Amino acid sequence: MLIMGNYENFEKIKTEKLKNQQREYEAQQQHRAHVQEFIDRFRYNANRASSVQSKIKMLEKLPELKSVEKEVEVVLKFPDAENLSPPIMQLNEVTFGYSADKPIFSSVNLGATLDSRICIVSTFQR
């Protein structure tokens, strides 16, 4: 699912989608209950046998929608780190590419200390 815009827009669209999914699920459950009530009431009535059979087949073919599951809120706690000695990251003779025959860079040496700021930039591709 691709949503254009910022995170607030994503949250709004996601909330609406989940509400609609829940409404569809509840409507389907009411419909199923109504049809099942009809089947239970007229199951042994000879005059309504064909109608009951068609309702049973319809219920069997009706796709089963799933109820919306409530998302669990996750709380992450990071303990204070002990003193780290520099470098905290060291890369030696690194080669990177999306395919082996076309490396984007090769033989790169890179190190990072606690004061380093790192930014990874890429083009956004769909």
Residues of the chain with pLDDT under 70: 1, 124-126
CA–CA separation, 65 and 24 (whole Å)? 8
CA–CA separation, 119 and 41 (whole Å)? 68
Domain boundaries, the chain: 7-61
pLDDT on residue 1: 64
Which pair of tokens denotes residue 91? 């890369």
Residue type, 60: E
pLDDT on residue 98: 84
pLDDT on residue 125: 59
Length of the chain: 126
